[in-house]
Amino acid sequence: MTMYGHSERKSCIIKRIPKIALLKSLGIREGMLVSIVSKQPLGGPVVVKLGKRNIAIARNIAEQIQVEGA
Amino acid sequence: MQSCHKEVKIEDSPEGIKILLVGNPNVGKSVVFSKLTGLNVIASNYAGTTVSYTKGHINFNRKKGTIIDVPGVYALETTSPAEEVAIKMLDEENADVIICVLDATNLERNLNFALQIQKYNIPIVFALNLADVAKQQGITIDVSKLEEELQAPVIETVAIRNIGLKQLLNKAYDIFENPKGKASTDKKRTISEDDRWKKIGEISKRVQKLEHRHPTFMEKLGDAMLKPLIGIPIAFLVAIIMIAVVVGGGKGIRAGLLLPLLNNYYVPFITSLVSMFVTEGLIYNILVGDFGVLILGIEWPFALVLPYVFFFYIALSFLEDSGYLPRFGVLIDTVLRKIGMQGGSAIPIMMGYGCAIPAILGTRAATTKKERIIVATVVSVAVPCTAQTGAFIALLGAHSAWMLATVFLFSFVGILLSGLFVNKILPGEVEPMLLEIPNLLVPDAKTLFKKIMMRTRSYILEGATPMILGVLFASLVVETNALKYVAVYIEPLIVDWLGLPREATIGLVLGVIRRELAVLPLIEMNLTSLQLLVGSVVALFYLPCLAVMGVLIREFRLKVALLIGGSTFVIAFVVGGLLNHTVRIVSGIF
């Protein structure tokens, strides 16, 4: 399942990420546990919580991130 | 505000040690810098506040030194002009010591950067900042274990409250004067990215203890602001409160304090003072006549505009330091994407309502040139600066709030259309959003106060002086009747096309110098409602001030600057004239 398709308020574990250097720097890496805080309407970004920090990720990046429910 | 963004040429000074202040974005480098050097630099609660470097001198226990505040970077890769600056400085500055600021609430990610800068073989002291917030969040970090892992000193700091900074500097001098373990850093080889992350995972496991805490009210509020159903109403509420603070506060101070002071005490005093030395005539009129420089030159910058500038900066600084702005950026990303920007660019646009210069410099945090040009264009064309907003309120507020709202409606439509247009003509895609949202905080009162004062002072120093000179120029033109000769050429444009009186030419001439000077002269003319509206709309879209043109040239070269400047000019006259004629035709029918 992709991160964008994952339902709100649920946690998931990141399985695969696209090759975008900034993602890793922000802590979005394989094996990390994140929860989906919100999804903006009309194809807007999705906000995920990683530890205590929120990160906004554009739809087309979130669609390339594979996750698994936790 | 320019002063804090000035790029200082860095020369190799023999003055003590050279310290580079580096770290991830929004970990508090600028706060550390301000506290160590006593220099004021703008610090805010979001990534990318510092887009250029600032140099400051220190004198610590009679030892001299230079500290350079470097823009924050996530990794040693260049994606934006601000990051290019940072990497270039690490490569070329030959620093003696690096102070690397780490965010204790976000250790893993900060360690990634910490491990990367070790390859420079420059002695490093780590500042483990935000130690207080980390404790609140249930994060405990074993400092001596971390020192062991990093093979470098680590000092816990709470920069905003001056905690740990002395020890930090002490340590920096110490490792410079007594270099040790140099051999061990030399041996450090660059490890592969995967190995690095593995190492980071191991280090954090060893040094960090996490204790589950229930989310605080601020954490819950911060999350709620990111959910459209709650966040969008909150955004409207924030906007309404902001307008109320700026318009209400500004008007209150102006009408309740400044105008009475001016009209009852200052004007009679200065008029009688001048009449003691000067007899009525040309010079008398230039000094204290209708356009007298000693009257309007004081009234405009200080009684009409200053109150709004002051209250705007209260509101903006509060929003910046609270960490609200990036949340607003996420909500508005979908809209801004349509006009070629990421949600994060909402921040420089908001700053543009203060002053266009920091807004344009702030675009350096954007990753593409296209996005930088779009933001710069939008801000130059359609975003009134706070001084101009003050002038609009002074001009229109007395007539009707609706007219004021109409001018701002023109501003919003102008933002959308100019963004849309530039997005169409420039090639390239909008970069997808990838933005870290800072913790929502209650701003620190002392820091906030300093920031507001710093910005207000820079308005007084850098804004009021050109305004006074502008008034002097206007009074010379009016009193010597020079306008008659100039106006002949532009009269058809001003009178026939825009429907404004001939004297309005003064505003358009002065408007080249500063934005609000295109508006203020209209106050002194008895204009009809339509003329007020047309005059305001022309002033809104008209050239940004001279200083802004200078910044545009510096940032984007002459060609782009002239294109932006030229189009503001054309837009102002086309829109103003169409508005004038449309309203006339429509009101003629009914």
Q: For chain B, which residues make up each domain, given as ranges?
A: 2-210, 228-589
Range with lowest mean pLDDT among A66-70, B128-132, B297-301, B335-339 = A66-70
Nearest-CA distance B375 → chain A (Å): 19
Q: What is the pLDDT of residue B11?
A: 44
Interchain proximity B433–A27, CB inside 8 Å: no
Q: What confidence tens digit (pLDDT) does each residue in A26-57 have?
A: 889 888 899 999 999 888 999 999 888 899 99
Two tokens, residue B296: 């309007």
For the residues A53-69, what does the mean pLDDT come to?
93
For the residues B1-11, what does the mean pLDDT come to?
42
Nearest to A45 among B79, B227, B433 (CB): B433
Q: What is the pLDDT of residue A37?
A: 93
Query: Is there a contact between B339 and B369 (Cβ–Cβ < 8 Å)?
Result: no
Q: What confidence tens digit (pLDDT) does each residue in B207-241 have?
A: 999 888 888 899 999 999 999 999 999 999 999 99
Q: What is the pLDDT of residue B186?
A: 47
- Whether B13 shows a pLDDT value over 70: the answer reads no
Nearest to B112 among A25, A41, A61 (CB): A25
Count Cβ–Cβ pairs < 8 Å, chain A vs chain B.
Answer: 97
Q: What confidence tens digit (pLDDT) does each residue in B353-362 have?
A: 999 998 998 8
What's at A58, amino acid-wise?
A
Nearest-CA distance A65 → chain B (Å): 13
Per CB distance under 8 Å, which residues of B are interface residues toward A?
74-75, 77, 79, 105-106, 108-109, 112-113, 137, 193, 197, 219, 222-223, 226-228, 231, 326, 329-331, 333-334, 343, 432-437, 439
Query: Is there a contact between B521 and B494 (Cβ–Cβ < 8 Å)?
Result: no
Residue B108: closest CA among B27, B202, B204, B193: B204
In a mutational test of the A interface, the residue from B83, B230, B333 whose CB has the highest number of chain A CBs within 10 Å is: B333
**Shortest CA distance from A26: residue in chain B:** B109
**Shortest CA distance from A58: residue in chain B:** B433
> What CA–CA distance (Å, rounded) separates B76 from B93?
15
> What CA–CA distance (Å, rounded) separates B468 from B183?
62
Contacts with B108 from chain A: Cβ below 8 Å: 27
- Whether B5 shows a pLDDT value over 70: the answer reads no
Q: What is the pTM of this model?
A: 0.87
**CA-CA distances (angstroms) from residue B231 to A47, B254, B452?**
13, 34, 27
**B2-210 has CATH 3.40.50.1000 classification:** no
Q: What ipTM was estimated for this complex?
A: 0.95
Q: For chain A, which domains are there? A: 11-69 (2.30.30.90)
- Whether B556 shows a pLDDT value over 90: the answer reads yes
Query: Which residues pair with residue B17 across a beta bridge?
Result: B65
Establish how many alpha carbons lie within 13 A of residue B543's alpha carbon, considering only the half-sphere containing its beta carbon: 22
Query: Is there a contact between B159 and B127 (Cβ–Cβ < 8 Å)?
Result: yes
Q: What confidence tens digit (pLDDT) does each residue in B312-366 have?
A: 999 999 999 999 999 999 999 999 999 999 999 999 999 999 999 989 988 988 8
Contacts with A52 from chain B: Cβ below 8 Å: 105-106, 137, 219, 439
Two tokens, residue B398: 């007395």
- Whether B289 shows a pLDDT value over 90: the answer reads no
SS3 state at B42: coil
- Whether B1 shows a pLDDT value over 70: the answer reads no
Number of helices (H), then strands (E), in chain B: 28, 9
Range with lowest mean pLDDT among B250-259, B320-329, B482-491 = B482-491
- Whether B2 shows a pLDDT value over 50: the answer reads no
Q: What is the pLDDT of residue B181?
A: 54
Q: What is the pLDDT of residue A59?
A: 93
Q: Using pLDDT thresholds of 50, 70 and 90, give the confidence band for residue B100.
A: very high
Nearest to A58 among B137, B222, B434 (CB): B434
Query: Which residues pair with residue B140 across a beta bridge?
Result: B209
Nearest-CA distance B47 → chain A (Å): 12
Q: What is the pLDDT of residue B400?
A: 84
Interchain proximity B193–A24, CB inside 8 Å: yes
> What CA–CA distance (Å, rounded) separates B370 from B505?
35
Q: What is the pLDDT of residue B279?
A: 84
Q: What DSSP string runs through B131-183?
A: HHHHHHTTEEE-HHHHHHHHTS-EEE-BGGGTBSHHHHHHHHHHHHHS--SHH
Q: What is the pLDDT of residue B268?
A: 93
Q: What is the pLDDT of residue B83?
A: 83
Mean pLDDT of chain B: 88
CB burial of B38-69 (b: ≥16 within 10 Å; e: otherwise) equals ebbbbbbbbbbbbbbbbbbebeeeeeebbbbb
CB burial of B328-341 (b: ≥16 within 10 Å; e: otherwise) equals bbbbbbbebbebbb
Q: What is the pLDDT of residue B49?
A: 80
> What CA–CA distance (Å, rounded) separates B419 from B583?
26
In a mutational test of the A interface, the residue from B107, B434, B440 whose CB has the highest number of chain A CBs within 10 Å is: B434
DSSP collapsed to 3 states, A1-51: CECCCCCCCCEEEEEECCCCHHHHHCCCCCCCEEEEEEECCCCCCEEEEEC
Residue B246: closest CA among B345, B318, B320: B318
Two tokens, residue B474: 């206007």
Q: What is the pLDDT of residue B189?
A: 60
**Shortest CA distance from A39: residue in chain B:** B227
> What CA–CA distance (Å, rounded) separates B135 from B440?
16
Range with lowest mean pLDDT among B176-180, B280-284, B363-367 = B176-180
Tokens 């605080």 belong to B216
Share of chain B above pLDDT 90, in %: 58
Mean pLDDT of chain A: 90
Interchain proximity A44–B330, CB inside 8 Å: yes
Within 10 A of B500 (CB to CB), how many other CB atoms are there?
26
Query: Is there a contact between B68 and B54 (Cβ–Cβ < 8 Å)?
Result: yes
Q: What is the pLDDT of residue B6?
A: 41
Q: Using pLDDT thresholds of 50, 70 and 90, give the confidence band for residue B542.
A: very high
Q: What is the pLDDT of residue B180?
A: 66
Q: What is the pLDDT of residue B15?
A: 65
In a mutational test of the A interface, the residue from B46, B109, B199, B325 whose CB has the highest number of chain A CBs within 10 Å is: B109
In a mutational test of the A interface, the residue from B46, B80, B211, B330 whose CB has the highest number of chain A CBs within 10 Å is: B330
Q: What is the pLDDT of residue B188?
A: 55
Nearest to B330 among A20, A29, A45 (CB): A45
What's at B102, amino acid-wise?
L
> What CA–CA distance (Å, rounded) separates A37 from B194?
28
Q: What confidence tens digit (pLDDT) does each residue in B38-58 have?
A: 877 777 777 778 778 888 888
Residues ≥6 apart with Cβ < 8 Å to B225: B231, B234, B235, B324, B327, B440
- Whether B406 shows a pLDDT value over 90: the answer reads yes
Interchain proximity B75–A27, CB inside 8 Å: no
- Whether B389 shows a pLDDT value over 70: the answer reads yes
Nearest to B334 among A22, A43, A57 (CB): A43
For the residues B390-415, what does the mean pLDDT come to?
91
Interchain proximity A53–B436, CB inside 8 Å: yes
Strand A66-69 to strand A46-50: parallel, antiparallel, or no bridges (unpaired)?
unpaired
